[in-house]
Structure 1
Amino acid sequence: MKKTFLCCICFISFQIHAQFTPEGKQVKDTLSFLERTEFKAGYFGNILWNQGLNVGAEYLWKEKIKIKERKRGGQKRISNQFLFNGSLGFTFNPSTTTDTGVFTHYGLIWRRTNTKGKQFSITLNPLGYYRSILPETYEVKNDRVERVFFPGRSYYAPSMSIGFGKFRKNKKLTGRYFNINLMLQTPYNAGTLPSVFLEYGYRFNFKKKKRDANNN
């Protein structure tokens, strides 16, 4: 598991270094905060037993656009973006009351978009927190039975994901995405609990981006 995280970190570091090579065009513009920020909301679960919702935001940090001439005419346009990512979500199990939790993640996304708007992304969230929520719980204190306030456990929960999506040019509903997410909860008993979740949702922007109108 550690080797997988290390490989992904090395890959993203290589991509960041490539941002400043002469092979591509570094995008420099005057986008406002809202124009650089996309919000997202979607399903988060594994379909079989855990169901939930995840909402968040992505802030465009850097972007490089690479344009090539096609042999048959026209241009091939590839965009590589690095985005800061933050999200908040929850999951629950409809068949039991002991498998409910809330979580939050923060990290970095590398995303590639081709001429047709098809996207591929890798996300690393080294900052993650998961809080399990237990049903009504009691404990014995000084020979008295007392109800536990907000019963549950807290975990350090980093995550990583691989995703696919579709970009919609010049639209406030900017696209859709499908991610396969791996979350690690630690310390869990004497070790670490890996959990796989699926994400499907939509990204949206409150302002149309100037970059879309000028460069797409």
Structure 2
Amino acid sequence: MTESSDQKGEYETKRAAFAAESAKFRDSTIHEIDFILSDITRFVSELMVGTKGYLRNREDDLRKVEQRFKERKMVHVDHERAWRRYQEVWDEIKRRKKQASFESKVHFQQKAGDIKFALKEHGPRVAMDLLKETQKARADYYLNKDDWDEVQRSLDEAFRVIQEARAQGREEHRDRLEKRIRQTREFLQRQEGSADRLRKNISENQSRRDSARSADFSATVQGWIDDGESDLLRRALNV
């Protein structure tokens, strides 16, 4: 009878010790979970950049907690209490991820608008540089698949507008170049026509000089010839 009482007492002692250890593990686990939640709440409310990697790390922290759940025996009520808190934090992470994704989407849609404004104010080169910076920065932001696709469509649209502006710029440059070439050709044609007239006048004046009946008239005509030849030389040198 005494032995049975001793066994019962030993059992109760072990049971109480197990319950105490279970409660201790429960409280430490809940404390750790609450710390993760508090950190998530503070971080996500402060800034968006870096959220992607940060939330991934917090998810890894929670998975480590889950692994300890699997490895550690607990009193059922303690396990249920800690597990419910664990699930609440997972739900909060999902909510925070949804919020972060939405805010990131809005941020990058605004960036797409900034790119179009830069295109209008500063041209394709500045707009393309801003687009590249935006695409690179996106890696640090959390976006779920739907929001990522929506942002990508906005950036693709910005890229399309930049390419159209580039094509239009090249076409306008080509038109200006062709206009200058055409104007240059017309100018050269006019110059050549004027030079032909000068050469004809010089030739006619040379005939007048050679047939002049007086030295004075011959000298006058020679002056015309000299002026014509000087004018012809200036045109040839484009002076």
Question: Which structure has the highest strand share of the two?
Answer: 1
- TM-score of the aligned structures, taking structure 2 as reference length: 0.20
Q: Which has the higher helix share?
A: 2
TM-score of the two chains, using structure 1 as the length reference: 0.21
